[in-house]
Each structure stands twice: as C-alpha cells, then as structure tokens.
A and B are shown apart, each in its own frame.
Chain A
Amino acid sequence: MAGALSSLAFGSVGGSAFERRAATRDPAWVKWLILGLSLSFFAIFILLPLIAVFVEALRKGWGTYITALSEPDALAAVRLTLIAAAIAVPLNLIFGVSAAWAIAKYQFRGKNALTTLIDLPFSVSPVVAGLVFVLVFGAQGWFGSWLGDHNIRIIFAVPGIVLATIFVTFPFVARELIPLMESQGREEEEAAIVLGASGLQTFWRVTLPNIKWGLLYGVILCNARAMGEFGAVSVVSGHIRGQTNTLPLHVEIVYNEYNFAAAFAVASLLALLALFTLILKTIIEVRAASQVAKA
C-alpha cells in the first residue's frame, strides 16, 4: 500500500498560496479550528507515542539503557535484523526494477492483473504471510519431511525469517518505480537505442539516472519495513533468544518479562531507525522535487 505514497513522493509541501487568494481563504475561525483539531490529533496519536518510547527507555537512566543494548541477546537480534534486511532489500530491489521495466516500458496482456498481484503482500495480514511459509516449509508442510530428512531448517530458523521479510517487503520498490517509469515514458530509452546504445547501456546511462530518487525512496521504505516487521517474522521465528530473534521480537520478549526499561531501550533503537528513515525520505523528496522542477 506504499503505492499510495508514490503519487506523493514527488510532490512538494503545499504553500500558503491558497491563503493569499480570496476565494480559497478560509475564515480565520475555521482555519484555527481545523488547525487546532488536526494538530491536537497529530500530537496525541503520533507525537506522544514517539516521545513515550524515548522517555520510557531512559526512565531508569543511561546505565540501564546501555546495558539493555549491549547484552548479547540484543546484539544477536541486531545482527539477525541486519542480515534479514541485507538479503531481503537487494532481492526486492532487483525484482522491483525488473518488474517496473517490464510493466512501465511495454504493453502486454495481463499487465493490470500482474500489477495488482504485486500489491498483494500489502493487503495480506502479516500473520497470514508467516503462516503460509509454515505451511510450505514447516514440519507438517509440503516440504517438511524432505527438509527434515536433509536436516535443513527453514521455519523457526533464519531462512524462514528472511523469507517472511522478503514477502512483506515485496512490493515496496516496484510500487515506487512503476508509476514513476510510466510517467517518464519510453522516448528517452528509444532515443538511446536509435543512437546505438545497447539495452544495458540504455538502462545504466539513461533509465537509472532518471529513476534514482524513486529507487532510493523505495529502498528506504523497504528497509524500514524489513527491519521493523513483527507479525510475519513472529510466526516463523520460534522465538529462540539469541538465535532467531530479530530486534522487534527481542522487544516483545523483554517486554513480556516485564523488563520495560530494557524493552523500550531496544525499541528506541528502532524508533531512531524510523526517524532516520523519515529524514532520508524527506531529503529525497526535496531532491526529487527539485529534479522535477528543473525538468
């Protein structure tokens, strides 16, 4: 559903031009009412939870905070989270570029159906996403006995976590690139081909520079989701401390042990990642907007 984002990705923040025109200027009381309501709503529902994470994390002081982050299980969780993202993001990046090239640059039958299917993982509950991998690779699943015979563990092990992560982050890059590449059309690529460029040369020299911001945008969102996914990973993980726990799962375990300060300390790490993601995203939006404005 990040597809909804794509249309916005390259729009700039609106100005107050509307306030200067008589016909679009709202009466002052309306303006303050709407601003008051929407910003209070924003403060309570978005800002407050964000602040709560950091305040709760530091409630017992920096010592506890540092300890919570440096205990071996937490570090193992960091490592696993990084591994899962490091596999899932590049795979989905390659897929996204490939899908966007096929869908945006050519006409073929079934294109709409394909585009819809790519969106599917967004609307599937993460829990269901995890479940289907259990059905395929779990002990009772399709390949369960074969995998068991060969001593390969996928479910309740790292491969399952990686698979679930790939599934839930599947559409991010594709959904950013498809509308972007569609809007850019085929002319520049055709021009390159007429001038004698090969397919790869055309992609590297013409297409890629044009989509780099959209690509980066998709990668960042994909990465944030990959590192933060909880439901799907939870189903396939098995929750073995220090082995099959990602950061979000580690948060849950520590939290359920009533070690709230430690749970929030780890959570604050993820919240920082989220903030970092939002900052990068904003920078990219500004860059992309200025690129569009120049063109």
Chain B
Amino acid sequence: MAAAASRRVLPGFGLTLGYTVGYLSLIVLIPLSAALIKTFSLSWEHFWQIVTAPRVVASYKLSFGTSLLAAAINSVFGLMLAWSLVRYSFPGKRIIDALVDLPFALPTAVAGIALTAIYAGNGWIGQFTEPLGLKIAFTPIGILIALVFIGLPFVVRTVQPVLQDLEAEYEEAAASLGANRWQTFTRVVFPLLLPALLTGFALAFARAVGEYGSVIFIAGNLPMISEITPLIIITKLEQYDYVGATAVATVMLFVSFALLLVINGLQAWTSRRMGRAR
C-alpha cells in the first residue's frame, strides 16, 4: 500500500484518505456500532419481544404507512411542481423554485409548531375542517401532512434536473412518429423520468421514516394511535430503558441501511438512464 501510494502523481492521497476514514469511523461508524453491540448483548428472544411489542408494532405501521403515503403524494405533486418549474414560465417562478428547498432549510421544530398552528382545532385551517368532522392535528392525518412537508423537496430536486436535461428532441421524435401528447408523455417522457422519480420517492420515504421534530408537535403522540417509531425510542430513553431504545433503534438502523442501498442503486440507474457515466 505504501509503495502504491507513493506512486500516485497528485500528492495527498494517503493523508486525505486516512483522515477521511479516521473521521468517518470516529463520528459515524464507531458510535453506530455501539448500537449494534448493545443489541447483541440481548438474547434473540428478548430482542424479538421488545421489537414486536404491540405498541412498537403499531408505531411501525404508523411510521411506515404514513411515510409511504406521504412519499406517494409527494411523487405526484412533486412531479407536477418540477414539470411546472421546468416547462412553464409564470410570474414568481424563481422565488417558488428557491422556496421548494424551504423544508430542507427550515428547522423541523419550527415546521412542527407552524403546521400545528394551522391544523389544530382552533387553527387556520383546522377551525374549518373540525366542524366537518375532519380532525387533522393530533391524528395520523396530521403526521401525514408533516411528512408531506418535509419530503417534497426530495422529489422535486431529483426529478427537476433530469427533466431539465431531457432534450426536446425526444418528444419531437415521438411527435414526428405520430404519437399524441399523452402517448409521448406516457411512453417516452415518463419512462425516462421514472428512475429519478423512484429515487425521489425513496429519499422522501427514508427521510419521513426517521423524522421526529416536525411530527411530534402535530402528532398527539397517543400510544397505539399516533405514536411514531422515533418517539418510541425517545420514550424508552426517558424511562432509562436503554436496552429497549437500542433494540428499536437497531431495527430502524437496518431499515436505513436497506434504504440507503436501494437509493444508491436507484441513483446509479438514473445516471445510466441519462447516459451520464459515473
């Protein structure tokens, strides 16, 4: 290795790679392995009992269900928004384009209380929906809304550049071959966008599953009904149940790993589809 490193033309390989790996290990890998090691101190039965307790399972259903639904909603509207931003010109476009990233930049706690103020029973929108029997805040619907908020930029920002790079020639070719606008979209444009759209979906989903700050204010946090998985971890921690918290965290870590691999695969697919060799 030393010989190979000294034979590289640009200097600094050993230094930068060493620093990168060292810092990565110190900040990310070793702490994360702490969770795994702690989990391994449990017997399999005990672990299984913790992570399949009814209250925990209810939280998985809630977290994954609302996250999937939010990612799906964002895929539809995110695609439309990206389409509007790339294909149409309208006043205020620049500002809207910049504001799409607001959920990235706005601290989640701020988003959480703002959404609560809007959708609570006495809130801006809540006061109109509640008399109609639609309770939003402190129900799973509220959670869904918070997750839609934080997930939107992921879809828009993965689809938009692909849409931008999409040469008009494809659609002109389709049109010259006799396809109508709808056929052109479904058979030519959409398949080209699909990898990016799926990537955006997966990113939004991954973010939503782990989300905490924006959700807890609006969720109501009732066990079995509106308690998300990250909150279960917090609750267990506050009861000094480190083992329980870690076991649930390990489940979430595995989900994160799996999603990360899926997202990587999807991104590779996107760049292949777009002919951008990595």
- Where the two chains meet, the residues of A that have a C-beta atom closer than 8 Å to any C-beta of B are 1-5, 7-8, 11, 13-19, 21-24, 26-27, 30-31, 34-35, 37-39, 41-42, 45-50, 52-53, 56, 94-95, 98-99, 101-103, 105-106, 108, 114, 116-128, 131-136, 138, 140-142, 163, 166-167, 170, 182, 186, 189-190, 193, 198-199, 202-203, 221, 224-225, 227-231, 234-235, 247-249, 251-252, 255, 260, 263-264, 267, 270-271, 273-275, 277-279, 281-282
Q: Give the nearest-CB partner of B1 in chain A.
A: A108
- Where the two chains meet, the residues of B that have a C-beta atom closer than 8 Å to any C-beta of A are 8-13, 15-17, 19-21, 23-24, 27-32, 34-35, 38, 77, 80-81, 83-90, 93-94, 96-111, 113-115, 117-118, 124-125, 145, 148-149, 152, 154, 157-158, 160-161, 163-165, 168, 171-172, 174-176, 181, 184, 199-200, 203, 206-207, 209-213, 217, 229-231, 233-234, 237, 242, 245-246, 249, 252-253, 256-257, 259-261, 263-264, 267, 278
Q: In the complex, what distance in Å separates the CA atom of A48 from the CA atom of B118? A: 8
State the 7 A-B residue pairs at the shortest beta-carbon distance, nearest first: A125-B210, A228-B107, A199-B11, A230-B213, A231-B212, A16-B89, A14-B86
Q: In the complex, what distance in Å separates the CA atom of A230 from the CA atom of B210? A: 12
* Cβ contact of B168, chosen from A5, A21, A170, A273, cutoff 8 A: A21
Q: Are A126 and B212 in contact (CB under 8 A)?
A: yes
Q: Give the nearest-CB partner of B124 in chain A.
A: A52
Q: Give the nearest-CB partner of B82 in chain A.
A: A38
For the residues of A in contact with B, the DSSP-based class is helix
Q: Are A39 and B84 in contact (CB under 8 A)?
A: yes
For the residues of B in contact with A, the DSSP-based class is helix
Task: Show 12 residue pairs from A and B whose CB-CB distance is below 8 angstroms, ordered by the A residue.
Answer: A5-B101, A14-B163, A26-B181, A34-B88, A52-B124, A94-B19, A128-B233, A186-B10, A230-B213, A231-B212, A248-B109, A274-B107
Given A124-B32, A230-B212, A267-B107, 15 more A-B residue pairs with CB atoms under 8 Å apart are: A1-B263, A11-B165, A23-B171, A23-B172, A24-B168, A46-B100, A50-B102, A56-B117, A102-B17, A106-B8, A123-B259, A127-B233, A132-B32, A189-B10, A231-B108
What residues of chain B lie closer than 8 Å to A94, measured between beta carbons?
19
Q: In the complex, what distance in Å separates the CA atom of A125 from the CA atom of B212? A: 8
Q: Are B89 and A251 in contact (CB under 8 A)?
A: no
From known contacts A38-B80, A278-B102, A281-B101, infer whether A4 and B246 are also in contact, taking CB-CB under 8 Å. Answer: no
What residues of chain A lie closer than 8 Å to B111, measured between beta carbons?
49
Q: In the complex, what distance in Å separates the CA atom of A267 from the CA atom of B33? A: 35
* Cβ contact of A1, chosen from B20, B88, B98, B203, cutoff 8 A: B203
Q: Are B117 and A52 in contact (CB under 8 A)?
A: yes
Q: In the complex, what distance in Å separates the CA atom of A46 from the CA atom of B109? A: 15
Q: In the complex, what distance in Å separates the CA atom of A5 from the CA atom of B154? A: 8
Q: Are A128 and B253 in contact (CB under 8 A)?
A: yes
Q: Are B13 and A102 in contact (CB under 8 A)?
A: yes
Q: Are A267 and B99 in contact (CB under 8 A)?
A: no
Q: Are B28 and A170 in contact (CB under 8 A)?
A: yes
Q: In the complex, what distance in Å separates the CA atom of A131 from the CA atom of B32? A: 9
What residues of chain A lie closer than 8 Å to B161, measured between beta carbons?
7-8, 11
Q: Are A271 and B106 in contact (CB under 8 A)?
A: yes
What residues of chain B lie closer than 8 Å to A106, measured between beta carbons?
8, 10, 13, 17
